[in-house]
């Protein structure tokens, strides 16, 4: 079987790895990966210079979705996996200062009551309103997807939405909770309401179970000592050794179905190729364009997945620019600000900067409006001015890097699961063509790895005769 993988981000590389390894019943495929950019990795981009390790895209992944750790293990990199340094200290910038997230705070709801009752992040009125959830009847009807923000507001009031849900969930998904789909992003909330009626009661019960099983004590975040770019390097090395044809700087321009259900591909360098199966791991726009002729309904549904932009501003400061050592791992903004949050990479991870440097990553999602689209000359002073006010920097930063990701983050808005179903139905006549990666079934690195592998296996199909 000859497999074409379109896109050399983490999804495409994971798909190629799955295909070339075989799975015992399926023999290794002959694989060509085509990446339009000059480098592999897509959004995984690690820069090492001036003694700094700068992540321009993702800087870590969650361990409770095992696909990334499994892949890392298969590549022989397990000894490179690192957890956060020291104790996890998450703050919200709310009501004028940095305030620690209440102990036992989940993504949206408290799993312990007392720290929630005593936190200064919410006003007494917000807390009272949240407690109304204990009395309210069920709000959700079967079958209707709703926004996370709308659902939470109806049960818990707007305080919890503005100060917890929007910064925490919106920060990960690059979109406001008022547009994000409950069923695609936080389906557990629907299950919690169905089972316990009250979300607070459900969360407290979940907290008791987690404490009983000693889960949740440690941070779930992991990365690699050499940054996530080292995962891309290791994959490239193993794939090359396994005979995969990795082409960079060449795009796929067209795909045409063959009589046998495969694809004839045209490349931007003028060459062509014939394949038995295709994994489209080229993001929303890249994959939708290539499906337009062969599967117009799938292309249209995919094209309706909205996209967010994001900018990462990485700043290095001399450590003595701050009156006190910067030990926080970062914070999320719970009120209007020119950024949505900050990671202090030098405090959070080992080996990101020399000991006399504080390395900070600030996020400017497109949803913040004009500031996100402003040129560096406006953006950087707005970001540094805010950081100076929050952390009390007395001296300017010594270096800055700006990474812009325009229209590249799929947003799982209300109705997302219907769009996924439409893409799948629109491709039903081409079972060896699969769309993989962040556009449909999870934006996190482990989701992309898992989906890349699964879609490669599905594209290659069952072994003849098995
Ligand atoms: C700033 C930022 C921070 C993030 N932080 C985290 C984090 O901390 N943890 C986490 O788990 N996730 C994080 N994510 C999400 C995660 O990085 C992405 O969802 C994931 O990397 C997407 O991988 P992918 O391979 O599906 O897509 P991409 O990385 O976008 O790769 C798609 C590739 O396809 C190529 N392509 C497009 N069209 C064609 C064509 N016609 N021919 C050939 N090639 C083509 C593109 O050049 C691109 O390289 C973050 C994302 C961003 C932007």
Domain CATH code at residue 311 = 3.90.660.20
Phi-psi region of 330 (alpha: psi -120 to 50; beta: other; left: phi over 0): left
Mutation pick for ligand 1 pocket among 47, 66, 69, 282 (CB with most ligand atoms within 8 Å):
282
The more confident residue out of 106 and 338 is 338
Residue 53: CB atoms within 10 Å:
23
- pTM, 2 dp: 0.95
> Which tens digits make up the pLDDT trace of 87-118?
777 899 988 899 988 888 877 888 888 888 89
Instruction: With respect to residue 398, please indicate whether it lies within any of the assigned structural domains.
Output: yes
Count of Cβ atoms closer than 10 Å to residue 336 Cβ: 7
Q: Is residue 90 part of a domain?
A: no
User: How many residues make up the chain in this entry?
Assistant: 466
156 within ligand 1 shell (Cβ under 6 A): no
> What pLDDT does 108 receive?
82
- Structure confidence by residue, pLDDT tens digits, 398-455: 999 999 999 989 999 999 999 999 999 999 999 999 999 999 999 999 999 999 999 9
Residue range 150-155: mean pLDDT, rounded: 97
Give the distance from CA 29 to its chain's centroid: 29
Could you give the strand order of the β-sheet that contains 91-94, starting from the edge strand earlier in sequence?
A: 97-100, 91-94, 330-333, 341-344, 357-365, 307-318, 399-410
**How many other C-beta atoms can be found within 10 angstroms of the C-beta atom of residue 162?**
18
CATH code, 172: 1.10.3110.10
Angstrom CA distances, 224 to 51, 251, 356, stand at: 17, 29, 22
Ordered DSSP codes for 116-135: HHH-SSS-HHHHHHHHGGGT
> Confidence class of residue 215 from pLDDT cuts 50, 70 and 90?
very low
Q: What is the mean pLDDT of residues 291-304?
A: 98
Phi-psi category of residue 326: left, alpha or beta, with phi > 0 → left and psi -120 to 50 → alpha: beta
On whether both 197 and 240 belong to a single domain, the answer is no
Range of the structural domain that residue 324 is part of: 307-410
Number of domains in the chain: 3
Report whether residue 407 contacts ligand 1, using a CB cutoff of 6 Å: no
Pick the residue with more confidence: 143 or 7? 7
Beta strand pairing call for 330-333 and 307-318: unpaired
Do 323 and 401 fall within a single domain? yes
Collapsed DSSP state (helix, strand, coil) of residue 393: coil
On the question of pLDDT at 255 being above 50, the answer is: yes
**Best of 6, 9, 411, 453 to mutate for ligand 1, by most ligand atoms within 8 A of CB?**
9
Per-residue pLDDT tens for 44-62? 999 999 999 999 999 999 9
pLDDT at 171 (0 to 100): 81
Task: Judge if 291 and 418 occupy the same domain.
Answer: yes
Domain membership of residue 397 (yes or no) is: yes
Same domain, 370 and 422: no
Question: How many A from CA of 465 to the centre of ligand 1?
Answer: 36
Q: Six-digit token pair at 29?
A: 């495929």
Nearest protein Cα to ligand 1, atom 49:
42
293 near 286, Cβ under 8 Å? no
Whether ligand 1 lies within 6 angstroms of the CB of 284 is answered as: no
Q: Is 35 in the pocket of ligand 1 (CB under 6 A)?
A: yes
391 with 437, same domain?
A: no
Handedness of CA 32, 34, 39, 42 (dihedral sign): negative
The encoded tokens of residue 330 equal 């970062």
pLDDT in tens, 156-185: 999 999 988 999 898 888 889 999 999 999
């Amino acid at each position: 079987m000859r497999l074409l993988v379109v896109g050399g981000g983490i999804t495409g590389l994971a798909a190629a790895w799955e295909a070339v390894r075989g799975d015992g019943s399926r023999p290794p495929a002959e694989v060509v990966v085509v990446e339009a950019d000059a480098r592999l990795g897509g959004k995984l981009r690690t820069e090492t210079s001036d003694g700094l390790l700068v992540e321009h895209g993702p800087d870590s992944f969650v361990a409770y979705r095992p696909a990334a750790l499994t892949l890392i293990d298969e590549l022989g990199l397990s000894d490179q996996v690192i957890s956060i340094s020291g104790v996890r200290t998450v703050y919200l910038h709310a009501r004028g200062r940095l305030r620690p997230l209440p102990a036992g705070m989940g993504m949206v709801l408290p799993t312990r009551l007392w720290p929630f009752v005593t936190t200064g992040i919410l006003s007494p009125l917000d807390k009272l309103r949240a407690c109304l959830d204990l009395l309210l009847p069920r709000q959700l009807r079967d079958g209707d997807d709703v926004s996370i923000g709308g659902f939470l507001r109806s049960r818990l009031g707007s305080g919890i939405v503005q100060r917890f849900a929007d910064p925490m969930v919106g920060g990960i998904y690059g979109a406001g909770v008022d547009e994000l789909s409950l069923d695609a992003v936080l389906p557990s909330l629907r299950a919690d309401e169905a089972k316990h009626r009250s979300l607070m009661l459900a969360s407290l019960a979940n907290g008791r179970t987690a404490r009983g099983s000693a889960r949740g004590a440690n941070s779930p975040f992991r990365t690699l000592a050499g940054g996530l770019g080292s995962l891309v390097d290791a994959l490239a090395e193993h794939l090359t050794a396994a005979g995969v044809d990795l082409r960079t700087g060449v795009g796929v321009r067209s795909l045409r179905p063959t009589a046998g259900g495969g694809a004839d591909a045209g490349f931007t360098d003028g060459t062509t190729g014939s394949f038995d199966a295709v994994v489209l791991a080229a993001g929303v726009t890249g994959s939708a364009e290539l499906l337009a002729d062969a599967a117009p309904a799938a292309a249209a549904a995919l094209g309706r997945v909205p996209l967010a932009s994001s900018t990462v501003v990485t700043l290095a400061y001399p450590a003595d620019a701050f009156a006190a050592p910067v030990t926080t791992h970062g914070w999320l903004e719970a009120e209007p600000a020119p950024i949505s949050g900050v990671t202090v990479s030098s405090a959070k991870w080992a080996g990101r900067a020399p000991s006399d440097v504080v390395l900070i990553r600030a996020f400017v999602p497109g949803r913040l409006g004009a500031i996100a689209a402003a040129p560096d000359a406006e953006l950087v002073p707005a970001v540094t001015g805010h950081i100076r006010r929050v952390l009390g920097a007395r001296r300017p930063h010594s270096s800055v890097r700006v990474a812009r990701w325009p229209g590249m983050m799929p947003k799982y808005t209300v109705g997302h699961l219907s769009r996924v179903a439409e893409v799948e139905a629109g491709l039903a006549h081409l079972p060896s063509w699969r769309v993989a990666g962040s556009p449909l079934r999870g934006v996190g690195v482990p989701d992309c790895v898992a989906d890349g592998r699964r879609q490669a296996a599905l594209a290659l199909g069952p072994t003849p005769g098995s």
